[in-house]
Structure 1
Amino acid sequence: MNTLWIWIQFAACLGLIILAGSRLAKYADLFGERAGLSKVWIGVIALATVTSLPELATGISSVTIIGQPDLTFGDIFGANLINLLVIAVIDILYRKGHLLPLLGSGVVLTAALGVTITAAAAVFIFLAQDNIDLTVFGHVSLYSFLLLGLYILAQLMIFRYKPPVGENAVDLRPAPPAPSISTSRIVAYFLGAALATVIGGIWLGFIGNQIVEITGLSSSLVGTLFLAVSTTAPEIVVSISAVRLFALDMAVGNLVGSVLFNIGVIIFIDDIFYRAGSILQHVDPIHVLTALFAILMSTIVIIGILFKPRLWLKPWAGLDVVLLAAVYIGAMLSLFFLAKPA
């Protein structure tokens, strides 16, 4: 197969996801305005869910059509690493000061819940590798149900959480003019963008398998690097756009909220579609290492919000930004040298 053609497809698929993902977020935000939903809810729940559709579609195609569960797990954990890295990127883009100390406690709660569910996934993968696992309905791991339960519990906690009195949420966006588009058309455009995003995700699954074949790299590495970069494109586009509008809580809430959805929902759905048994027993244990790196990066974000460090390397960038980038690079190097080749 022509190597150049594969990379052309990869670039075209990336462009489709960026375009569809940006439209998807736009109409989700617009619908939220019509429905009277809060900005935090839109960022952590609505946007995090819809912008994670590429990861979901890629995962389903990877386990059903291609039969490569490591592709989807690499995509899930790799996407989480990139989402956390993007926080460092938007911190640099926000020129009015250091971004993390400006975020509200709701973002801290979401990030802490992300640490919890990521740690649980790492433990469950480790246990499943030693056949310490139970299956439900023939092949679905009990651990997948537990991850879904943790996700639902996390959403309930976020929905019911009330920030301390006097906490100012950073949302300086000007009030948009009332759109003339009807609600029914908003929904139609939203569904069209969602369909395009899903198609792009399924396409990515095939491209990822071809990259494994032509490069000889491991499925875990390809999923964590190439697929994760592409499927997180909607989150990147949405968050950078939100920062430009000074909707900081929405921008970061979208990123840390995606961590919850990727692990709690996508692993559960992938396990349902994977018919060869418990999916946690058939993945490379290297994903546990990736999960630990994600936990480390989430902890840096939480400390950056709460501690409000004074050490800035530039007028607008803090030391925690550099640490996030360093940990991500360390994760990629570790996977490159430790992951088993295809």
Structure 2
Amino acid sequence: MIFIIYFVLAVLVVLCSVKCADYVDLLDKKTNISGAFIGGIILAAVTSLPELFTSISSLYVVDNPELIIGNVLGSNVFNLAVLGALVAFTARNFIKSKVAPSHMATLVCSLIAYLGCAFATLTGWGTIPVININIVSLLIIVVYVISFRFLSSDDTANDEEADSPLTVRQIVVRFILMALGLVAASICITWATDQIASKLNLNASLAGALFLGVATSLPELTSSVALVRKRNYNAMFGNIIGSNMFNFTILSIADILCWKQSIYIPSYQTTLMLIFGVLSSVIAGAILLKRRAKKEEGNAAKIFHIICSLGIVLSYLLFLVLSA
């Protein structure tokens, strides 16, 4: 029965994520708000809520702060692999689409966050006395605010017209309801995972990797696929890169809440996630830089994007192999 409940909850997460993506696409077409901002801030925050709740659960439910950095960095590497796969398989449509230049600023901010995490994790330095918060956590908040400002100032407009009879207000209300459904399903999945771990006598971290990790990655995956099907690559890029940046702020929140020990705990897997996260981000940056250059829609541009995108996917697969 608990497996049936888990499956039903996972289906609810997928459905809510797809509907959120649909409403984001409508908002992009019906308002003057940039798709980069809608995808990179609004949708990204919503689809990253499962990581937030599971990270808080790691502190107060299973009392294992080490799960937090693995949850965040692991989700980020997976998200970039999703981006790579979607661009690789739809390269012809991607090179004809509009992608805002502000995504590059967000990607640079995420690379700064990666370097900060690497410093705190590998050196063990940076903890501020008395308040027991790592300075890297404060740096992450600063760069997130900077990325927020870049996205909010972006004026890339979507020239397509929406054929939906819904008003902007109705779209916003329905988006909020779907977001609340996504949050509720995520909380229930945390409970279901704990029950599965208990019944199968699994280690909490193993259960998290097998069941919780998959579930928390579904929102980014399904919403991004839905946006690509609508050829809204601007919002898709914003969703993936914005989710990664939001995930880093989860580390800051967890660091503030965790008084017992640092959440920047070194391990072999953490080092791998940092290396491949940076590598995948750099490749994604190359894709964005190519988009900012003189627009090309020939086979050369298509091959370039396919090679770079597959490089991101291969880096994720290499991470899995080396982590085994």
Instruction: Name the TM-score, length of structure 2 as normaliser.
Output: 0.81
Matching residue of 2:53: 57
Alignment of 1:114-193 (within 5 A): 114-128=110-124, 132-135=126-129, 137=131, 139-160=132-153, 174-177=160-163, 179-180=165-166, 183=169, 186-193=171-178
* Residues 21 and 224, structure 2, Cα contact 8 Å, conserved in 1: no
Matching residue of 1:298: 281
CA distance in 1, matches of 2:315, 2:42: 28
Matching residue of 1:267: 251
Matching residue of 1:280: 264
Change (3 A) 1:315 1:127: closer
Q: Which moved more, 1:198-207 or 1:326-335?
A: 198-207
* Residues 69 and 264, structure 2, Cα contact 8 Å, conserved in 1: no
Change (3 A) 1:217 1:66: closer
Matched position secondary structure for 2:264: helix
* Residues 311 and 318, structure 1, Cα contact 8 Å, conserved in 2: no
The runs of 5 or more residues in structure 1 that have no matched partner are 164-168, 337-342
The number of residues matched between the two structures is: 318
Identical-residue share of aligned pairs (%): 26
Matched position secondary structure for 2:61: helix
Q: Which amino acid aligns with 1:279?
A: I
RMSD of equivalent CA atoms: 3.5
The runs of 5 or more residues in structure 2 that have no matched partner are none
Change (3 A) 1:297 1:225: farther
CA shift, 1:32, in A, is: 6.1
Matched position secondary structure for 1:66: coil
CA shift, 1:175, in A, is: 0.9
Change (3 A) 1:103 1:225: farther
Instruction: Name the TM-score, length of structure 1 as normaliser.
Output: 0.77
* Residues 126 and 136, structure 2, Cα contact 8 Å, conserved in 1: no
- 1:40 pairs with one of 26, 36, 55: 36
Change (3 A) 1:12 1:30: same
* Residues 271 and 278, structure 1, Cα contact 8 Å, conserved in 2: yes
